[in-house]
Protein backbone atom coordinates (compact mmCIF):
# COMPACT_ATOMS: atom_id res chain seq x y z
CA UNK A 1 0.00 0.00 0.00
CA UNK A 2 2.81 2.40 0.87
CA UNK A 3 4.49 1.69 -2.47
CA UNK A 4 1.24 2.37 -4.32
CA UNK A 5 0.78 5.64 -2.43
CA UNK A 6 4.35 6.65 -3.26
CA UNK A 7 3.82 5.94 -6.96
CA UNK A 8 0.62 7.98 -7.02
CA UNK A 9 2.03 10.87 -5.00
CA UNK A 10 2.06 14.27 -6.63
CA UNK A 11 5.51 15.37 -7.78
CA UNK A 12 6.30 19.07 -7.83
CA UNK A 13 8.50 20.09 -10.73
CA UNK A 14 10.38 23.39 -10.74
CA UNK A 15 11.53 24.77 -14.08
CA UNK A 16 14.03 27.59 -13.65
CA UNK A 17 14.88 29.67 -16.74
CA UNK A 18 18.47 30.81 -16.27
CA UNK A 19 21.41 32.17 -18.19
CA UNK A 20 24.19 29.78 -19.09
CA UNK A 21 26.84 31.44 -21.20
CA UNK A 22 30.41 30.25 -20.78
CA UNK A 23 32.93 33.08 -20.72
CA UNK A 24 35.72 32.32 -23.17
CA UNK A 25 34.48 28.86 -24.17
CA UNK A 26 34.93 28.34 -27.95
CA UNK A 27 34.34 32.06 -28.64
CA UNK A 28 35.90 35.20 -27.24
CA UNK A 29 33.82 37.35 -24.91
CA UNK A 30 33.27 39.88 -27.70
CA UNK A 31 32.19 37.19 -30.19
CA UNK A 32 29.78 35.71 -27.65
CA UNK A 33 28.27 39.13 -26.95
CA UNK A 34 27.58 39.73 -30.64
CA UNK A 35 26.45 36.16 -31.35
CA UNK A 36 23.94 35.62 -28.54
CA UNK A 37 24.62 37.12 -25.09
CA UNK A 38 23.26 40.60 -25.83
CA UNK A 39 20.14 39.10 -27.42
CA UNK A 40 19.52 36.97 -24.34
CA UNK A 41 19.18 39.96 -22.04
CA UNK A 42 17.27 42.03 -24.57
CA UNK A 43 14.70 39.27 -25.03
CA UNK A 44 14.55 38.32 -21.33
CA UNK A 45 13.78 41.91 -20.35
CA UNK A 46 11.13 42.21 -23.04
CA UNK A 47 9.45 38.86 -22.36
CA UNK A 48 9.38 39.24 -18.58
CA UNK A 49 7.82 42.67 -19.02
CA UNK A 50 4.92 41.09 -20.92
CA UNK A 51 3.88 38.60 -18.24
CA UNK A 52 3.95 39.02 -14.45
CA UNK A 53 4.18 35.25 -14.02
CA UNK A 54 7.56 34.93 -15.73
CA UNK A 55 10.85 34.61 -13.85
CA UNK A 56 14.52 34.44 -14.80
CA UNK A 57 17.83 34.10 -13.01
CA UNK A 58 21.03 35.71 -14.25
CA UNK A 59 24.29 33.93 -13.50
CA UNK A 60 27.35 35.32 -15.30
CA UNK A 61 28.05 38.97 -14.51
CA UNK A 62 30.70 39.23 -17.23
CA UNK A 63 28.05 39.24 -19.95
CA UNK A 64 25.36 41.01 -17.97
CA UNK A 65 27.67 43.92 -17.13
CA UNK A 66 28.78 44.29 -20.74
CA UNK A 67 25.15 44.29 -21.84
CA UNK A 68 24.18 46.82 -19.16
CA UNK A 69 27.07 49.17 -19.89
CA UNK A 70 27.17 49.01 -23.70
CA UNK A 71 23.97 47.55 -25.14
CA UNK A 72 20.93 48.09 -22.91
CA UNK A 73 18.70 51.01 -23.85
CA UNK A 74 17.23 53.36 -21.25
CA UNK A 75 13.94 51.46 -21.60
CA UNK A 76 15.65 48.10 -20.97
CA UNK A 77 17.41 49.49 -17.90
CA UNK A 78 14.20 50.96 -16.48
CA UNK A 79 12.31 47.72 -17.04
CA UNK A 80 15.07 45.58 -15.62
CA UNK A 81 15.34 47.66 -12.46
CA UNK A 82 11.63 47.08 -11.93
CA UNK A 83 11.99 43.35 -12.58
CA UNK A 84 14.78 43.13 -9.99
CA UNK A 85 12.67 45.12 -7.52
CA UNK A 86 9.76 42.70 -8.02
CA UNK A 87 12.05 39.69 -7.63
CA UNK A 88 11.20 38.40 -11.09
CA UNK A 89 14.77 38.73 -12.31
CA UNK A 90 17.20 37.45 -9.72
CA UNK A 91 20.98 37.29 -9.70
CA UNK A 92 22.59 34.09 -8.40
CA UNK A 93 26.26 33.53 -7.51
CA UNK A 94 26.91 37.10 -8.71
CA UNK A 95 30.50 36.54 -9.79
CA UNK A 96 31.87 37.32 -13.21
CA UNK A 97 31.68 33.57 -13.92
CA UNK A 98 31.02 30.23 -12.25
CA UNK A 99 34.67 29.73 -11.40
CA UNK A 100 36.47 26.43 -11.91
CA UNK A 101 36.74 24.35 -8.74
CA UNK A 102 40.05 22.61 -9.49
CA UNK A 103 42.73 24.92 -10.85
CA UNK A 104 41.79 28.49 -9.98
CA UNK A 105 43.54 30.38 -7.21
CA UNK A 106 41.41 31.20 -4.16
CA UNK A 107 42.35 34.88 -4.39
CA UNK A 108 41.07 34.99 -7.97
CA UNK A 109 37.84 33.26 -6.94
CA UNK A 110 37.27 35.88 -4.26
CA UNK A 111 38.23 38.78 -6.56
CA UNK A 112 35.89 37.87 -9.40
CA UNK A 113 33.02 37.35 -6.97
CA UNK A 114 33.76 40.59 -5.13
CA UNK A 115 33.72 42.54 -8.40
CA UNK A 116 30.39 41.06 -9.42
CA UNK A 117 28.76 41.58 -6.03
CA UNK A 118 30.02 45.16 -5.89
CA UNK A 119 28.48 45.94 -9.26
CA UNK A 120 25.12 44.45 -8.27
CA UNK A 121 24.98 46.32 -4.98
CA UNK A 122 26.00 49.64 -6.53
CA UNK A 123 23.61 49.25 -9.46
CA UNK A 124 20.55 47.59 -7.90
CA UNK A 125 21.12 47.59 -4.15
CA UNK A 126 20.91 43.80 -4.01
CA UNK A 127 23.21 40.94 -3.10
CA UNK A 128 22.81 37.38 -4.44
CA UNK A 129 21.24 35.03 -1.90
CA UNK A 130 22.16 31.77 -3.60
CA UNK A 131 25.34 30.32 -5.09
CA UNK A 132 25.03 28.40 -8.35
CA UNK A 133 27.71 26.04 -9.69
CA UNK A 134 25.88 23.82 -12.16
CA UNK A 135 28.64 23.56 -14.77
CA UNK A 136 32.08 23.49 -13.05
CA UNK A 137 33.41 19.93 -12.91
CA UNK A 138 33.78 18.44 -9.45
CA UNK A 139 33.31 20.10 -6.10
CA UNK A 140 36.11 21.48 -3.93
CA UNK A 141 36.01 21.38 -0.13
CA UNK A 142 36.80 25.09 -0.30
CA UNK A 143 33.44 25.81 -1.91
CA UNK A 144 31.10 25.53 1.10
CA UNK A 145 33.51 27.56 3.23
CA UNK A 146 33.90 30.32 0.63
CA UNK A 147 30.20 30.55 -0.18
CA UNK A 148 29.12 30.45 3.46
CA UNK A 149 31.55 33.28 4.23
CA UNK A 150 30.16 35.17 1.22
CA UNK A 151 26.76 35.14 2.91
CA UNK A 152 24.85 32.81 0.60
CA UNK A 153 21.74 31.13 2.01
CA UNK A 154 22.05 27.97 -0.10
CA UNK A 155 24.07 26.38 -2.91
CA UNK A 156 23.17 24.51 -6.12
CA UNK A 157 25.62 22.09 -7.74
CA UNK A 158 25.38 19.64 -10.63
CA UNK A 159 28.58 18.14 -12.08
CA UNK A 160 29.72 15.53 -9.58
CA UNK A 161 30.71 11.88 -10.06
CA UNK A 162 27.93 10.09 -11.97
CA UNK A 163 27.88 7.03 -9.71
CA UNK A 164 27.80 9.20 -6.60
CA UNK A 165 24.95 11.27 -8.02
CA UNK A 166 23.05 8.13 -8.99
CA UNK A 167 23.39 6.76 -5.45
CA UNK A 168 22.35 10.08 -3.93
CA UNK A 169 19.31 10.23 -6.17
CA UNK A 170 18.22 6.67 -5.39
CA UNK A 171 18.64 7.27 -1.66
CA UNK A 172 16.95 10.69 -1.82
CA UNK A 173 20.08 12.40 -0.53
CA UNK A 174 20.37 15.15 -3.14
CA UNK A 175 19.98 17.78 -0.43
CA UNK A 176 22.37 18.10 2.49
CA UNK A 177 24.25 20.58 4.65
CA UNK A 178 27.79 20.77 3.27
CA UNK A 179 30.69 21.41 5.63
CA UNK A 180 34.03 21.61 3.88
CA UNK A 181 36.38 21.60 6.87
CA UNK A 182 36.17 20.03 10.36
CA UNK A 183 37.97 23.08 11.75
CA UNK A 184 35.44 25.48 10.17
CA UNK A 185 32.16 23.83 11.11
CA UNK A 186 30.37 27.19 11.32
CA UNK A 187 31.06 27.73 7.61
CA UNK A 188 28.57 25.29 6.12
CA UNK A 189 25.84 25.71 3.54
CA UNK A 190 22.61 23.98 2.59
CA UNK A 191 23.28 22.32 -0.79
CA UNK A 192 21.03 20.92 -3.51
CA UNK A 193 22.46 18.58 -6.17
CA UNK A 194 20.58 18.55 -9.48
CA UNK A 195 19.47 15.16 -10.73
CA UNK A 196 21.00 13.18 -13.60
CA UNK A 197 19.49 15.49 -16.20
CA UNK A 198 21.70 18.23 -14.81
CA UNK A 199 20.65 21.79 -15.69
CA UNK A 200 18.64 20.91 -18.83
CA UNK A 201 15.24 19.22 -19.22
CA UNK A 202 15.42 15.64 -20.59
CA UNK A 203 14.27 16.69 -24.09
CA UNK A 204 17.32 18.92 -24.52
CA UNK A 205 19.64 15.94 -24.07
CA UNK A 206 18.48 14.21 -27.25
**Catalytic positions, please?**
135
Cα 165 from Cα 125, distance rounded (Å): 37
Nearest Cα neighbor of 128 from 111, 143, 106, 113 is 113
DSSP the chain: -HHHHHHHS--------B----TTSSS-HHHHIIIIIHHHHHHHHHHHHH-TT--EEE--HHHHHHHHHHT--HHHHHHHHHHHHHTSEEE-S-SSS---SSSS-HHHHHHHHHHHHHHHHHHHS----EEEESSSSS--THHHHHHHHTT-SEEEE--S-HHHHHHHHHTT-SEEEEE--GGGTTSEEEEEE--TTTTS-GGGG-
How many Cβ atoms sit within 10 Å of the Cβ of residue 55?
17
Sign of CA dihedral 169, 174, 180, 183: negative
Amino acid sequence: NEQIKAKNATIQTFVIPHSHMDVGWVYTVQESMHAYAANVYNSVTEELSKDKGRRFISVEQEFFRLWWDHVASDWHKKQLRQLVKEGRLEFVIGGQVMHDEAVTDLNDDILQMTEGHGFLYQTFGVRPRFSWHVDPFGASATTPVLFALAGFDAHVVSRIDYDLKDAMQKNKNLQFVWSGSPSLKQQQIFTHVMDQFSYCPPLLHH
